[in-house]
Amino acid sequence: MAVSGLLADMESLPTLAWVSPALTAVAVIIVALLSGYRKSPTKFDVPTLEDSPMRYVQEADFKNTIFQVLTPDGPRIFLPRKFANELKPFKRHEASGMKALADRHLGHYTTIDHESDVMLGAIKIDLNRNLGLFVGDVEQEVSYCFETQFPSCEDWTPIDLHETLLRVVAQASARIFVGYPMCRNDEWLECSTKFALDVMTGGEKLKLWHPWLRPFAQYWIPEMRQIRGDHQRALDLLMPELNKRATETRKSDAAPRQDMIEWMQQRAQKLGDKSFDNRELANLQMLTATAAIHTTRLAIIHALYDIAARPEYIAPLREEIKEVTRDTNGVLQKQHLTQMRKLDSFMKESQRHSPPSVATYQRKAMIPIDLSNGFHIPKGTIVQCNTNILDETPAAWGEPHAFDGFRFYRLRENPEDTNRFQFASTSYDSMQFGFGNDACPGRFFASNQIKIILSYILSHYDIKFEDSVKERPKNFMFEVNVMASNTKVLFKRL
């Protein structure tokens, strides 16, 4: 970053008005000296991809080759997918997916490097154990959002899915995270979604600075400053609810709540975690929302793009939803979600073509690791596998490059495979949710939410693209992430 740009930013910051001219001059001199410094990261004896870390997605030369992408933070090692099987047995303290993710988003600065056994246990055990209790609650919030936040759509109406689904997913998630009526608090929903955006945007801006300069640069980046405010605001918004619950627990006849607040509090008490307090609870709520909201929203957008581009799937999907809910007059219950096998298959096929990332299997080596081919991974190195090579699809799955929405529905018709090939299943051939010990713990929750939202849309609306859109909009890449284009979809109420 140019010194002139830095000076302009410094002059525009009222929070730095107290800095004396002398100190400002010293700071500028330090920045000017260090900006010319470029540390050459340690290189590995493997091919180096200088221009784009995504070239290997299109170029077969890199499919079976270990290579590196050099970054200011050191090399990122890309491994052929087969090595995921070798890394799978390692425990979290040996090869950590969470640490790799945190490093990728500069978690030390963005505050998402905060691993918590309280949060992990609440998601992995309590949330997954109680998912069946929330089907009706989540459906209620989804319905409420569409009734109160969505246009009437009496005629074909263009909808920005990125903006609209953000509210729907955030509110449906909040019903389980913070309970009712907090899940409908506009300020809370805005805070929980804004935090994730500040983390992503602030982290990317901070990456533009040399690592030596980041301790200083973080104070010049608006989103980085806002992250600290997001945490405080979350605590302030939660305190009335937490005080109310504290009063309730003193009453002997008070029924225990079933949501993430309650589970985190109980789990911290069970673990004897003395560091857990209201501030920590608010921080963990922000992290949970960040992990849940945006990836789920993106998966729904991809699925709706695929449905709108292939209208022949609408009728059979809609018929399945009607059939499985016939006994409850269209009201969703837990068993209905497992019975929606065609919808589950369509979701999985959509995610196969449009995964959240082409490197969903990432690990940070917490100990030195040697691979079977002799390649040595030093402690602290981040490695990742290309998990989305369609050519490596098993032959039994059929044509690998075709979009076959009922591919996995047919595979599950074999009695021995009836519980395999589900959207939330992880395997060597389906690593969209990761693989092994650090596979996404919230994938079952995400699967339920996506089904509830998609089934609601299919049951209440026709959807299509504008006439000018002739095919499914192409995705675009940001680093290793697969992003959906900002194409509007037309909705019309049935």
CATH numbers and ranges of domains, the chain: 1-37 (no CATH), 38-493 (1.10.630.10)
Distance between CA 105 and CA 41 in Å, rounded?
Answer: 19
Q: What share of the chain is helix, strand, coil (3-state, %, to 5)?
A: 55, 10, 35
Task: Report the half-sphere exposure of 164 (CA within 13 A, side-chain side).
Answer: 24
Give phi and psi for 369, each to the nearest 5. -130, 135
Is residue 96 within 8 A of residue 366, CB to CB? The reply is yes
For residue 421, count other CB atoms closer than 10 A to its CB: 22
Mean pLDDT of 132-149: 94
Is residue 156 within 8 A of residue 465, CB to CB? The reply is no
Distance between CA 229 and CA 235 in Å, rounded?
Answer: 10
The edge-to-edge listing of strands for the beta sheet with 157-159 is 157-159, 489-493, 461-464
Looking at every residue in the chain, the average pLDDT score rounds to 87
Between residues 63 and 219, which one has the greater pLDDT?
Answer: 219
Mean pLDDT of 208-216: 91
- Confidence class for position 104, pLDDT limits 50, 70, 90: confident
Q: For the chain, give the percent of residues with pLDDT over 90.
A: 70
Q: What is the pTM of this model?
A: 0.89
Residue 440, annotated ligand binder? Answer: yes
Min mean pLDDT across 136-145, 203-212, 253-262, 448-457 is at 253-262
Mean pLDDT of 385-413: 93
Question: Which pLDDT score, from 0 to 100, does residue 17 have?
Answer: 40
Is residue 44 within 8 A of residue 67, CB to CB? The reply is no
| Listed residue (382, 355, 356) closest to 369, CA to CA | 382
Distance between CA 57 and CA 47 in Å, rounded?
Answer: 15
> Exposed (0-12), middle (13-18) or buried (19+): which is 393, by Cβ within 10 Å?
middle
Distance between CA 352 and CA 399 in Å, rounded?
Answer: 13
Distance between CA 304 and CA 313 in Å, rounded?
Answer: 11
Query: Is the pLDDT confidence value at 357 over 80?
Result: yes
Q: For the chain, give the percent of residues with pLDDT over 70.
A: 88
Tell me whether the omega of the peptide bond preceding residue 400 falls within 30 degrees of 0, making it cis: no
DSSP string, 220-272: G-HHHHHHHHHHHHHHHHHHHHHHHHHHHHTSTTPPPP-SHHHHHHHHHHHHT
Task: Report the half-sphere exposure of 37 (CA within 13 A, side-chain side).
Answer: 10
Distance between CA 70 and CA 246 in Å, rounded?
Answer: 51
330 in the Ramachandran plot: left (φ > 0), alpha (ψ -120 to 50) or beta?
left
Distance between CA 452 and CA 171 in Å, rounded?
Answer: 13
- Confidence class for position 46, pLDDT limits 50, 70, 90: confident
Contacts of 19 (CB under 8 A, 6+ apart): 10, 27
pLDDT in tens, 151-205: 999 999 999 999 999 999 999 999 999 999 999 999 999 999 999 899 999 999 9
C-alpha distance from residue 440 to each of 13, 52, 97, 387, 433 (Å): 40, 27, 9, 15, 5
Question: Which pLDDT score, from 0 to 100, does residue 140 have?
Answer: 95
SS3 annotation, 84-130: HHHHCCCCCCCEEHHHHHHHHCCHHHHCCCCCCHHHHHHHHHHHHHC
Min mean pLDDT across 57-66, 103-112, 327-336 is at 57-66
